[in-house]
Structure 1
Amino acid sequence: MKKRTFIKLSSALMTAPLFSPITGWAAGDKLKNWAGNLEYSTEKLDQAKSVAEVSALVKKYPKLKVLGTRHCFNKIADTKDQFVSLVQMKEDISIDANSKTVTVNSGLKYGQLSPYLHEKGFALHNLASLPHISVAGACATATHGSGDKNGNLATAVSGIEMVIANGETVTLSRAKDGEKFNAAVVNLGALGVITKVTLDIQPTFMMGQYVYQNLSFDQMKDNFEKIESSGYSVSLFTNWQSKDIAEVWIKQKITDGKPLKAEPEFFGAKLATKNLHPIPELSAENCTDQMGVSGPWYERMPHFKMGFTPSSGVELQSEYFVPRKNAVDAILAIARLGDQVGPHLLTSEIRTIAADNFWMSPCYKQDSVAIHFTWKQDWPAVSKLLPVIEKELAPYNVRPHWGKLFTVSPADLKKRYAKMADFRNVAAEYDPKGKFRNEFLDLNIFGS
Structure 2
Amino acid sequence: MRIRNFGRNLDFTPDQYFAPQSASEVLDVLVRVKGKRVRTIGALHSWSEAPLEDEVVLSTEYLDGFRVEKRGTETWVLLGGGCRLKDILPKLDAHWLTLPTLGLITEQSIAGAAATGTHGSGRQSVSHFVDEVTLAHYDPATGEPTLTTVRDPALLRSARCSLGCMGVVVEVGIRCREQYRVEEHFSLYDDLTSVRDAEREFPLQQFFLIPYAWKYLAQHRRETPAPRSRLAWLYRWYWFVCMDVGLHLVILSLVRVLRSPRLARWFFRNVAITTAIRNWRVVDKSQSMLTMEHELFRHIEIEMFVPSDRLGEMLDFTQSLLLHAAGVQEIEARWQQPIAELGLADALQSIHGVYGHHYPICIRKVLADDTAISMSSGDDTYYAVSFISYEAPERREGFFQFAAVLAHATGELVAARPHWGKVCPIDSAEVVRLYPNLAEFRAACEQFDPLGAFRNPWLAKVLFEE
Q: Indicate the TM-score class for this superposition, using the shorter chain for normalisation.
A: 0.7 to 0.9
Instruction: Say which of 314, 319, 329 aligns to 1:330.
Output: 314
Give how far 1:300 is off: 1.3
CA 1:277 to 1:319, structure 2 compared with 1: closer, same or farther past 3 Å? same
Give the superposed CA RMSD. Answer: 2.6
TM-score of the superposed pair, with normalisation by structure 1: 0.81
Q: Which whole-Å CA distance do the structure 2 matches of 1:406 and 1:92 have between them?
A: 32
Higher helix share: 2
CA 1:278 to 1:393, structure 2 compared with 1: closer, same or farther past 3 Å? farther
Q: Which moved more, 1:227-236 or 1:30-39?
A: 227-236
Please say if residues 63 and 83 of structure 2, whose CA atoms lie closer than 8 Å, have aligned partners that are also in contact: no
Q: Which whole-Å CA distance do the structure 1 matches of 2:64 and 2:370 have between them?
A: 31
Please say if residues 35 and 314 of structure 1, whose CA atoms lie closer than 8 Å, have aligned partners that are also in contact: yes
Q: Which moved more, 1:137-146 or 1:230-239?
A: 230-239
The 5 A counterparts of 1:217-296 are 219-220=191-192, 222-245=193-216, 247-257=217-227, 275=239, 276-277=242-243, 281-282=247-248, 291-296=280-285
Give how far 1:298 is off: 1.4
Please say if residues 162 and 196 of structure 1, whose CA atoms lie closer than 8 Å, have aligned partners that are also in contact: yes
Q: Which whole-Å CA distance do the structure 1 matches of 2:69 and 2:249 have between them?
A: 37
Q: Does 1:356 align with 2:369?
A: yes
Please say if residues 206 and 219 of structure 2, whose CA atoms lie closer than 8 Å, have aligned partners that are also in contact: yes
Q: Does 1:412 align with 2:430?
A: yes
Give the paired residue count.
Answer: 391
Q: Does 1:77 align with 2:48?
A: no
State the one-letter code of the partner of 1:53: E
Equivalent residue of 2:445, what SS?
A: helix
Give how far 1:84 is off: 1.2
Please say if residues 64 and 83 of structure 2, whose CA atoms lie closer than 8 Å, have aligned partners that are also in contact: no
State the one-letter code of the partner of 2:148: V
Larger Rg: 2
Q: Which whole-Å CA distance do the structure 1 matches of 2:313 and 2:64 have between them?
A: 48
State the one-letter code of the partner of 1:31: I
Which consecutive unaligned segments of at least 5 residues does structure 1 have? 1-24, 262-272, 305-309
Aligned to 1:11: none
Instruction: Say which of 128, 142, 145 aligns to 1:155.
Output: 128
Spell out structure 1 runs of 4+ moving beyond 6 A: none
Q: Which moved more, 1:321-330 or 1:371-380?
A: 371-380
Aligned to 2:398: 381
CA 1:96 to 1:171, structure 2 compared with 1: closer, same or farther past 3 Å? same
Identity %: 18
Give how far 1:258 is off: 7.6
Q: Which whole-Å CA distance do the structure 1 matches of 2:426 and 2:406 have between them?
A: 10
Q: Which whole-Å CA distance do the structure 2 matches of 1:444 and 1:392 have between them?
A: 18
Q: Deviations over 1:276-335 (max 9, x none)?
A: 427973269xxxx9954432211111122xxxxx24532211011111111122112212
Q: Which whole-Å CA distance do the structure 2 matches of 1:258 and 1:300 have between them?
A: 11
Give how far 1:341 is off: 4.9
Equivalent residue of 1:350, what SS?
A: strand
Please say if residues 77 and 189 of structure 1, whose CA atoms lie closer than 8 Å, have aligned partners that are also in contact: no
Equivalent residue of 1:128, what SS?
A: coil
Aligned to 1:13: none
TM-score of the superposed pair, with normalisation by structure 2: 0.78
Give how far 1:393 is off: 4.8
Give how far 1:428 is off: 1.5
Which consecutive unaligned segments of at least 5 residues does structure 2 have? 139-143, 232-236, 251-276, 327-355
Instruction: Say which of 385, 391, 395 aligns to 1:371.
Output: 385
State the one-letter code of the partner of 2:221: K
Please say if residues 106 and 197 of structure 1, whose CA atoms lie closer than 8 Å, have aligned partners that are also in contact: yes
Q: Which moved more, 1:98-107 or 1:365-374?
A: 98-107
Instruction: Say which of 100, 106, 121 aligns to 1:146.
Output: 121
Please say if residues 161 and 169 of structure 1, whose CA atoms lie closer than 8 Å, have aligned partners that are also in contact: yes
The 5 A counterparts of 1:199-210 are 199-210=174-185
